[in-house]
Amino acid sequence: MKKQLWVILSLVSVALLLSGCTEFNEPISKDSQGFWNEFIVWPLVSAIKYFADLLGTYAWGIIAVTIIIRLAILPLMIKQTKSSKKMQEIQPKLKELQKKYASKDAQTQKQYQQEMMKLMSESGVNPVAGCLPVIIQMPILYGFYHAISRMNATAAFDLGNFFIFPLADPAPALAIIAGIMQFFVLRTGPAMDNPQMKIMIYIMPFMIIGFGMALPAALSLYWVIGNIISILQNLYIYKPWQNNKTQPAQNGGAKK
């Protein structure tokens, strides 16, 4: 099931990317034709422009739109993190099932899948919940990328700066900040309790920094603000400071 979901996710990513790449760096307006322009890029441009006029700069417009988007998908994000937390809680039971159904024959593996899905259902774990926020955010992220690039190519828009960072150009310092924030997102989330996910803590921040150094600073700003919201969400749900207190006590109990 996970493989199928990731295949679908990859195909959606490629389709969305290719759907907008033909008009990359071309001017954008309300008269621009096509699904990508009419329902993703132009609505984002309009929202950024509206809040920029309201708040004074395009930087604050991007921040406002980012916060609104993240608040809109917050229920899904909370559902995802809660599902991840429950998944960690049932890991011992999953390992027991793996030992019980260790044989690789088709009948045994079918029983294992049935028992695993039953355990997940009883525990309130939804394996699809982890993919939904990613699927929803991908067109938004690509839309932001094209909105910023095409606003920069349109004479009517002047993106200006965020403090010392020109929003239309790459900003390595802001990209590094985005990468550091991504590290704290993962450090306060479920990756810390999952050995298989821990490698993400060290890979994802460098990926964000790499992309941020090549893409407009407006995207790094989007990542920074989004990651701040994710950190606050993780702190609320996971309470990592409680985990840090619990682990030494458990280790001490084991030694006794």
pLDDT tens string 6-16 = 444 554 555 54
- The answer on 49 and 35 residing in a single domain is yes
- The answer on 152 and 97 residing in a single domain is no
Domain that holds residue 118: 91-124
- Total domains, the chain: 2
Please check whether residue 252 lies inside any domain of the structure. no
- The answer on 142 and 66 residing in a single domain is yes
- The answer on 172 and 202 residing in a single domain is yes
Please check whether residue 120 lies inside any domain of the structure. yes
- The answer on 96 and 15 residing in a single domain is no
Please state the rounded mean pLDDT for residues 142-163: 83
- The answer on 221 and 98 residing in a single domain is no
DSSP codes, 195-242? TTTHHHHHHHHHHHHHHHHHS-HHHHHHHHHHHHHHHHHHHHHH-HHH
Please check whether residue 254 lies inside any domain of the structure. no
Please check whether residue 206 lies inside any domain of the structure. yes
Q: What secondary structure, in 3-state letters, does 138-195 show?
A: HHHHHHHHHHHHHHHCCCCCCCCEECCEECCCCCHHHHHHHHHHHHHHHHCCHHHHCC
Beta-bridge mates of residue 165 = 162
Using an 8 Å Cβ cutoff, are 78 and 233 in contact? yes
Measuring CA to CA, how many Å separate 17 from each of 22, 142, 152, 218? 9, 7, 19, 18
- The answer on 205 and 160 residing in a single domain is yes
Specify the higher pLDDT residue, 109 or 198.
109
Using an 8 Å Cβ cutoff, are 5 and 128 in contact? yes
- The answer on 102 and 224 residing in a single domain is no
- The answer on 49 and 8 residing in a single domain is yes
Give the span between the Cα atoms of 98 and 101, in whole angstroms: 5
- The answer on 62 and 34 residing in a single domain is yes
- The answer on 73 and 170 residing in a single domain is yes
Q: What are the pLDDT digits (tens) for 106-151?
A: 888 888 888 888 888 887 776 665 566 666 677 777 788 788 888 8
Q: What are the pLDDT digits (tens) for 15-68?
A: 545 444 556 667 788 888 888 888 888 899 999 999 999 999 999 999 999 999
Beta-bridge mates of residue 166 = 161
